[in-house]
């Protein structure tokens, strides 16, 4: 028995020593793991802020005006700049889009690294890459690089703007000053909605001359926007397809400009204008005679307003060009009281197979859908008549087009 007890004691001692050794090893290993993790984290930060060595995470609770998209801000110890961690989502996010953005001491983007991306459509690498070198004005963001992923790219761009806002609001990086031309360019889509797609300018920049500093042609085909020299300042001049004009200053207020500038913008428009096809009106209303109408004050998705006569009666034809699931051209004929007499489109739904894949789109009864608009007025616009099941983007576009044509009718006909 004594021998058994002795052997047991020896065995217990060995177990205790071995356990202590393991615990000791774990105690020593933990700091090594922590150091490796810290090195990896520092390395990730240094990737977007080249030359950065060590970083300090700032306490966001001590800072002001931090947007929800900003999840962390790291200061580089040698004052080479900051790295901002960002998280955002878009309309089609399966999960958050997260990325690191380095901003150097001069206030320029030094690097961008995406750390989590779960969108169904991949945003092209060129889009984030071309932001490198830009400052807080984001003056040269090219949204055409985001074709096919506009919602994602817009969320990404807005998060980048949030990062700059957080840094400048807390005096960490000086806010860059926008030029008058950029301010006016950014005003354009809010003053002429047809120049935008999904909230972003959707235009082609044209070669300029004379007093025109910047010429933008709407890709939808509804009109133009010009930044023009006006003495010592610059103004924004909008011209629609009916050659009606409006001018605005950098404060966003409508202003009067010399007639010579107006004519310069009009002549430039004439030289670059793409005529809108009105042939569909004849198929919508038998015996229709179509002539160009007044478009004064119409700066929306409306591409054309026309006077139509048919069967001894007068009508107004209005065309809206905008984006649903894809580019859309929608035709309306309104009677003298402003009620829809007929409506049609080149296409309502594009790529029906995609709708089946993504949302179970079961098809559209074109005839029934069009008939649902007949008799509709500005006061009786019915969402249920406009809705196309499983086609949210197209439905939203049809709602926008319908509201815009009623507003245009009221503008040009004085509420008749």
Mean pLDDT of 337-348: 93
Bridge partners of residue 246, in order along the sequence:
238
What mean pLDDT, rounded, does the chain reach? 86
Query: How far apart are the C-alpha atoms of 347 and 325, rounded to whole Å?
Result: 10
Mean pLDDT of 309-316: 96
Residue 216 backbone dihedrals phi, psi, to 5 degrees: -120, 125
In this prediction, residue 15 carries a pLDDT of: 42
In this prediction, residue 27 carries a pLDDT of: 37
The answer to whether residue 217 scores a pLDDT higher than 70 is yes
In this prediction, residue 263 carries a pLDDT of: 98
For residue 392, give both structure tokens. Answer: 């949210």
The answer to whether residue 3 scores a pLDDT higher than 60 is no
In this prediction, residue 334 carries a pLDDT of: 98
In this prediction, residue 22 carries a pLDDT of: 39
Order the strands of the 245-248 sheet from edge to edge.
203-206, 212-218, 223-230, 233-240, 245-248
Order the strands of the 327-334 sheet from edge to edge.
289-292, 302-310, 313-323, 327-334, 340-345
In this prediction, residue 388 carries a pLDDT of: 85
Strands (E), 37-93: 55-57, 70-76, 81-88
In this prediction, residue 42 carries a pLDDT of: 67
Among 148, 181, 166, 175, CA closest to 70: 166
Q: Answer for the pair 241, 266: CB distance below 8 angstroms, yes or no.
A: no
Cβ neighbours of 289 (radius 10 Å): 12
Mean pLDDT of 273-294: 94
What does the domain layout of the chain look like in residue ranges? 55-169, 180-272, 279-413
pLDDT tens track for 28-80? 333 334 444 444 556 789 999 999 989 999 999 999 999 999 999 999 999 99
pLDDT tens track for 176-185? 888 999 999 9
pLDDT tens track for 356-385? 444 445 567 888 999 999 999 999 998 899
Residue 396 backbone dihedrals phi, psi, to 5 degrees: -65, -40
Query: How far apart are the C-alpha atoms of 141 and 159, rounded to whole Å?
Result: 13
In this prediction, residue 40 carries a pLDDT of: 53
- How big is the CA angle at 36 (ends 30 and 40), to the nearest 5 degrees? 145
Bridge partners of residue 212, in order along the sequence:
228
In this prediction, residue 363 carries a pLDDT of: 67
For residue 124, give both structure tokens. Answer: 């092209």
In this prediction, residue 33 carries a pLDDT of: 40
pLDDT tens track for 97-129? 899 999 999 999 999 999 988 766 677 778 888
In this prediction, residue 373 carries a pLDDT of: 96
Residue 294 exposure: Cα atoms within 13 Å on the Cβ side: 9
In this prediction, residue 151 carries a pLDDT of: 81
Query: How far apart are the C-alpha atoms of 136 and 167, rounded to whole Å?
Result: 10
Cβ neighbours of 32 (radius 10 Å): 9
Of 39-53, 230-244, 280-294, least confident by mean pLDDT is 39-53
Strands (E), 287-351: 289-292, 302-310, 313-323, 327-334, 340-345
To the question of pTM greater than 0.85 for the whole model, the response is no
In this prediction, residue 141 carries a pLDDT of: 82
Q: Is 124 exposed, middle or buried (0-12, 13-18, 19+ CB in 10 A)?
A: middle
Which residues 6+ apart lie within 8 Å of 191 measured at CB? 236, 238, 246, 248, 252, 299
Q: Answer for the pair 100, 112: CB distance below 8 angstroms, yes or no.
A: yes
pLDDT tens track for 125-153? 788 888 999 999 888 788 777 777 778 88
pLDDT tens track for 158-213? 999 999 999 999 999 998 888 999 999 999 999 999 999 877 889 999 999 999 99
């Amino acid at each position: 028995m004594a021998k058994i007890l002795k052997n047991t004691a020896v065995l217990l001692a060995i177990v205790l020593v071995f356990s202590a050794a393991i615990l000791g090893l774990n105690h020593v290993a933990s700091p090594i793991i922590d150091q490796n993790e810290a090195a990896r984290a520092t390395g990730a930060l240094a990737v977007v802020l080249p030359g950065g060595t060590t970083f300090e995470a700032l306490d966001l609770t001590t800072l002001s005006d931090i947007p929800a998209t900003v999840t962390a801000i790291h200061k580089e110890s040698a004052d080479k700049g900051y790295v901002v961690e960002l998280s955002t989502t878009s309309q089609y996010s399966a999960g958050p889009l997260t990325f690191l953005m380095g901003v150097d001491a001069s206030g320029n983007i030094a690097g961008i690294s995406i750390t989590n991306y779960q969108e169904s459509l991949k945003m092209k690498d060129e889009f984030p890459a071309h932001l490198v070198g830009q400052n807080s004005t984001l003056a040269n963001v090219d949204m055409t690089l985001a074709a096919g992923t506009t919602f994602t790219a817009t969320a990404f761009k807005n998060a980048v703007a949030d990062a700059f806002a957080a840094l400048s609001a807390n005096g960490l990086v000086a806010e860059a000053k926008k030029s008058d031309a950029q301010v006016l360019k950014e005003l354009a889509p809010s003053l002429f909605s047809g120049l935008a797609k999904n909230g972003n300018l959707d235009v082609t920049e044209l070669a300029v001359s004379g007093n025109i500093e910047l010429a933008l042609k709407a890709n939808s085909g509804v009109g133009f926007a010009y930044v023009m020299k006006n003495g010592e300042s610059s103004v924004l001049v909008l011209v629609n397809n009916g050659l009606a004009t409006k001018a605005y200053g950098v404060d966003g207020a409508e202003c009067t400009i010399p007639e010579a500038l107006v004519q310069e913008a009009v002549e430039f428009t004439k030289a670059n204008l793409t005529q809108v096809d009105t042939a569909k009106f004849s198929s919508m209303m038998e015996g229709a005679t179509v002539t160009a109408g007044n478009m004064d004050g119409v700066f929306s998705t409306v591409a054309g307003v026309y006077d139509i006569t048919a069967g001894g009666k007068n009508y107004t034809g209005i065309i809206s060009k905008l984006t649903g699931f894809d580019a859309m051209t929608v035709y309306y004929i309104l009677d003298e009281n402003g009620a829809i007499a007929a409506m049609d489109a080149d296409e309502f739904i594009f790529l029906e197979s995609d709708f089946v894949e993504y949302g179970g789109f079961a098809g559209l009864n074109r005839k029934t859908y069009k008939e649902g608009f007949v008799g509709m007025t500005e006061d009786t616009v019915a969402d249920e008549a406009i809705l196309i099941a499983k086609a949210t983007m197209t439905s939203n576009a049809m709602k926008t087009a319908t509201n815009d044509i009623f507003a245009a009718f009221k503008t040009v006909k004085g509420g008749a």
